[in-house]
Structure 1
Amino acid sequence: MTNGGPMIQPLILSGGSGTRLWPMSRPEKPKQLLSLTQAETMLQLTVRRVDPQMGFAPPILVANAQHADMITAQLAHVGVDDATLILEPVARNTAAAIALGALAAPSKDSLLLVMPSDHVIADLPAFHQAVERARALAIAGWLVTFGIEAETAETGYGYIRMAHVLSPGVRAVEHFVEKPDLARATAMLAEGGYCWNAGIFLFRADMYLDQLREHAPAILAAAGEAMRQAQRQAGRILPDSAAFAHAPSQSVDYAIMEQAKAVACAPVRCGWSDVGSWDMLHQISASDTAGNSIQGNVLAIDTQNCLIRGGEINVALLGISDLIVVVHANDLLIMPRGQSQNVRQIIDRLAGNGTP
């Protein structure tokens, strides 16, 4: 991956709570720390994408402080013992999290490959090729985002409208589109020139910090002070809690990417998914001849097109179709396929009174 240029510094964001995959994903152990698509966890799979044997630098991870020991154990399980772990004392969204990573980068012009820890990328060669296509522009000071070539009119993703070609396989960004309704998503797909916004970026650390200084100075000030007062111990950085709490909670798209001038997009088709719902997990998981994706102690008779996660108890299904059934500890989730984006209603109700 070095290709004669500077080594790329992975910056992996692992602060999400993954509530849409309740009841398995919970604040104390969110989806990036779970084995959902393969035997390894989402975080372990993400780290493997940027293996040092491929020419990447040891990763920097920005994560929730309460997950520190689990993350360290999971990294050790896949042979990663040289990562830098930045432990957020409070969650302040992606703009501030990336700021912490940029401030901790080995040098001001370190080339940061920013990736969420809970996404699927099935075609690694295609992804690595897109990173290579973007490298020269990122070195030159552009903020590069990786757009997923849109195949369907999805309403759960933001979109990127691309403009003229900057270099082979990389185009200027005209504007970003918030998650659209179905009519607009369908129109954009028919028009062409739009990609899904995957939240994966490549840019120099100093260029990102410069953009924060211009467009979101309060985030830079809070992150900078938190890092100046941070405690450091054996590969872990603990930013100062009081200082970091002053950072406005904004996404990197809202704070920077939608404001900056030199923004580029490298479109790629790499088998990407954000695994943002049980329906999405069903789509990307292996299924039997009846269309069922099954894990755990499950007996399914005359059952079709279901996602079933059985946990440690026995689950038997007879004569049903198009359901999502998830068992975890003392919780059971049952709902029709196509409704999993509404799991938030359950989370809100449980947060309100503690019972279903």
Structure 2
Amino acid sequence: MGAESPLLICNEEHRFLAAEQMRLIGREDASILLEPVGRNTAPAIALAALFATRNGDDPLLLVLAADHFILDVDRFCESVKKAVPMAEQGKLVTFGIVPDRNETGYGYILRGEALSDGGFVVGRFEEKPDRQTAEKYVKSGDYYWNSGMFMFRASRYLEELKRRRPEILDACSRSISVTEPDMQFVRVDAEAFEACPAESIDYAVMEKTDDAVVIPLDARWSDIGSWSALWDVQERDGDGNAFKGDVLSLSSNNNNVRADGRLVAIVGVKDLVVVETKDAVPLAPSGLMLLATKALQ
């Protein structure tokens, strides 16, 4: 299964970081659409679909977030291949993560009628539940985590957006009608895009369309949305530590240390998260690092 050059969408401030990451994986051919302001996923994907169809093409779009981690790539590719014929038939496919715990940090998708090719009609989308509700969802076997990953033909997404949220499509169409190419960067009209409503693809399209399909994905997925999620997917040494960068450890266990520029030394400590940056070095027990980093912002 072939694919065209990647298309990235990011904020103007992140353009060089995105370009460098594409260079590191050998994809300097990627186009990078620059948002002047954030307007959530529905407008961002609209920009991608409009850009992809600008020359009369109508490709399938595989929409992925930048901060997801997928350990079992083979299983992921199998699920993507299952999605292709559905998307070619005009369905809007989302990938539902097979849950392994009663997680309250994700939204859920209730599966409906089974389809012949391994997918299910989407029954409904559920907001992030409380612990008791999440446990009920997982025990039922009928719910998946909402991954925020999608596949559909570009024109189908634009059709649904025009039907469900024409204001978003209009603003995005106006913003991309005058683009400013700059190497691999593509800038859209800031004034037009700033006028666009901010809305997620779930609210704008997926919860309203009659053609939503969910494909189960069991590929050891995480959205890396917290330090605990990052901890779960990192490699660790014999003392249970996860280190990135220049770290010296003595008699220390189960620590997560990230050193971006300087040496970080830990001695006789355990269960800490330490993050060295040029501005600050927050250090906290693993369960409290989120509060520490927010306090420094």
The residue aligned with 1:176 is 125
The residue aligned with 2:274 is 325
Tell me whether 1:67 sits opposite 2:14 in the alignment.
yes
The residue aligned with 1:163 is 112
**How far apart in 2 are the matches of 1:319 and 1:81?**
44
What are the residue-to-residue correspondences of 1:1-356 with 2, within 5 Å?
1=1, 55-106=2-53, 107=56, 109-342=58-291, 345-346=294-295, 350=297
**How far apart in 2 are the matches of 1:138 and 1:188?**
27
One-letter amino acid of the structure 1 residue matched with residue 254 of structure 2: N
Runs of 4+ residues deviating >6 angstroms: none
Q: CA RMSD in A?
A: 1.8
One-letter amino acid of the structure 1 residue matched with residue 149 of structure 2: I
**How far apart in 2 are the matches of 1:341 and 1:163?**
36
Q: Is the 8 A contact 1:152 1:189 kept in 2?
A: yes
Instruction: Name the SS for the 2:43 alignment partner.
Output: helix
- In the TM superposition, residue 330 of structure 1 has moved relative to its aligned partner by 3.0
If the length of structure 1 is used for normalisation, what is the TM-score?
Answer: 0.78
One-letter amino acid of the structure 2 residue matched with residue 131 of structure 1: V
- In the TM superposition, residue 233 of structure 1 has moved relative to its aligned partner by 4.4
The residue aligned with 1:22 is none
One-letter amino acid of the structure 2 residue matched with residue 246 of structure 1: A
One-letter amino acid of the structure 2 residue matched with residue 299 of structure 1: L
Superimposed CA distance per residue, residues 51-76 of structure 1 (whole angstroms, 9 cap, x where no aligned partner): xxxx1111111121222233233323
Instruction: Name the SS for the 1:331 alignment partner.
Output: coil
**How far apart in 1 are the matches of 2:62 and 2:251?**
47
Unaligned 5+ segments in structure 2 are: none
Q: Is the 8 A contact 1:324 1:337 kept in 2?
A: yes
- In the TM superposition, residue 344 of structure 1 has moved relative to its aligned partner by 6.5
Q: Is the 8 A contact 1:108 1:206 kept in 2?
A: no
One-letter amino acid of the structure 2 residue matched with residue 72 of structure 1: A
Superimposed CA distance per residue, residues 109-156 of structure 1 (whole angstroms, 9 cap, x where no aligned partner): 321111112211122221111111111111111100011111111111
Instruction: Name the SS for the 1:167 alignment partner.
Output: coil
Instruction: Name the SS for the 1:150 alignment partner.
Output: coil
**How far apart in 2 are the matches of 1:97 and 1:147?**
21
- Figure out how many residues of one structure are paired with residues of the other and give that number: 295
If the length of structure 2 is used for normalisation, what is the TM-score?
Answer: 0.93
Q: Is the 8 A contact 2:284 2:292 kept in 1?
A: no
One-letter amino acid of the structure 1 residue matched with residue 12 of structure 2: A
- In the TM superposition, residue 269 of structure 1 has moved relative to its aligned partner by 1.1
Q: State percent identity of aligned pairs.
A: 38
Superimposed CA distance per residue, residues 318-343 of structure 1 (whole angstroms, 9 cap, x where no aligned partner): 33322211111131112222334545
Instruction: Name the SS for the 1:339 alignment partner.
Output: helix
Instruction: Name the SS for the 1:116 alignment partner.
Output: coil
